[in-house]
Amino acid sequence: MATRAADATIKGYYYQFDTSILKLLDLKSDTDSIVIEGIEDIDIESASETTTVQCKYLSKPRFINSAVREPISLMLDHFTNPSTPNDLKYVLYTHFENETAGNEPDIDLTKLKDILTYSENKVEKHYEIEKGITDDQLKVFLSQFKLIFGTEFYTQQSQILQKFRTTFSCSEFEADTHFYNNALRVVVDKAIKKDINDRKITRLDFFTAIDVRKKLFNEWFIAIRNKKEYLKQSSQSLKSLRALEPSRSKIILVGNNLVSADNTQLPLAAFIENATAKFYKPNSSMRNAKPLTFIIDADKAILHNLKKELIQREVIFNDGYEELEFSSTIFNIEPIINTSKNGAKISKASYLVKLISKETFMTNISGINSPSIFICFSDEDFPTRFSSGQFFEFKYCENLQDAFKIIAS
């Protein structure tokens, strides 16, 4: 029973988040906004009116008075507060298993009073009488109140994905893995803010925040997908956006959490060597291929040993002479290549990969050429400062083998 109650609670949170996403997608103007966890679960603000919405995902088969008594009572309390604006609209959006989504049951004064009537210790009580709420006040409240039967959980998610496909002209895959996931992250991040002003978001800010160049995956998304699915869809995300094409310049940042992880199965030097062989291998890669650039978040001793091991593995790298005096000019130089007899493939290159520390990168970023693709494998936020290119952030890899599956599967 406890597990079932917990599952219902989690589903209820997701239902509220999904409803928030749906309401944001339905806003008409860029300046229209919603407040998450405002007066109620969702406050919708436009130039003409403000509507406050409470969401309830109930497992009961049919509409019954007791299921809606508490939320309606809370709305009445707010309505009768002298400081409440007199034109505020109220919506109770609640799902019952066998009620038709979108229908609005007729609630007149008699029905409202029935809802507000309850029994305590076998004594009939009337909420409106206890609170001193008059019939005239109840009538005005009803003129500003709607009860709408909500859509079933998975049906509503499907509606959201369809809206993403229509709004952004994207595929079903992109709607799910990019837009829905990013939208979920934005809504959750807003919901946990302490200040109500920080829980407000406009249509324009929402649409900007869910752009596919932003963070792709987050813990709320992973909570309903297992790790294998996460790695698979992360890889598919990069492929669907053509981010892994060899001809596109790529910077890959490896965070300290991955450098210090258990990398027995794929050590750091092997990770770089294998990735290099995947994207920039003599006699295999086309002449328009670009060498990878790795940014390693590690101390000088680890970087020094890494470079020694790459030399032993005969992986020629360009580090801009960072251990002596870093030169962004040298670091930016494209490799000199020889091509195959037909000129199609690279047969030899003056270097195979570029490699510097995060410290060097952050200090000299203004002088480093902007990549087409920036991929960040780190559990820390990384504020990219390049003005162009696509940025992808993967926070939930446990080791370098996970990261390699994403870029090389």
Q: Are 212 and 180 in contact (CB under 8 A)?
A: no
- Side chain identity at residue 118, one-letter code: Y
Residues in CB range of 305: below 8 A, 6 or more apart: none
Percentage of the residues of the chain whose pLDDT score is greater than 90: 64
> Helical H runs in 298-349?
300-312, 328-332
SS3 105: coil
Q: What are phi and psi of 162, to 5 degrees?
A: -65, -40
Predicted confidence (pLDDT) per residue in 7-32, tens digit: 566 778 889 999 999 999 999 999 99
Say if residue 215's pLDDT is above 90. no
Mean pLDDT for the stretch of residues 25-43: 87
- DSSP SS3 for 318: strand
3-class SS at 22?
helix
Tens of pLDDT along 345-398? Answer: 999 999 999 999 999 999 999 999 999 999 999 988 776 667 778 888 888 899
Between 381 and 328, name the one with better pLDDT: 328
Q: What is the pLDDT of residue 220?
A: 56
Contact 205, 51 (CB under 8 A): no
- Predicted confidence at residue 4, as pLDDT, reads 41
CA nearest neighbour of 308 among 329, 323, 328: 323
Question: For residue range 256-297, what is the model confidence (pLDDT) as tens digits?
Answer: 999 999 999 999 999 999 999 999 999 999 999 999 999 999
- Predicted structure pTM score: 0.55
Q: How confident is the model at residue 155 (pLDDT cuts 50, 70, 90)?
A: very high
Greater model confidence, 348 or 232: 348
pLDDT-based confidence at residue 1 (cuts at 50, 70, 90): very low
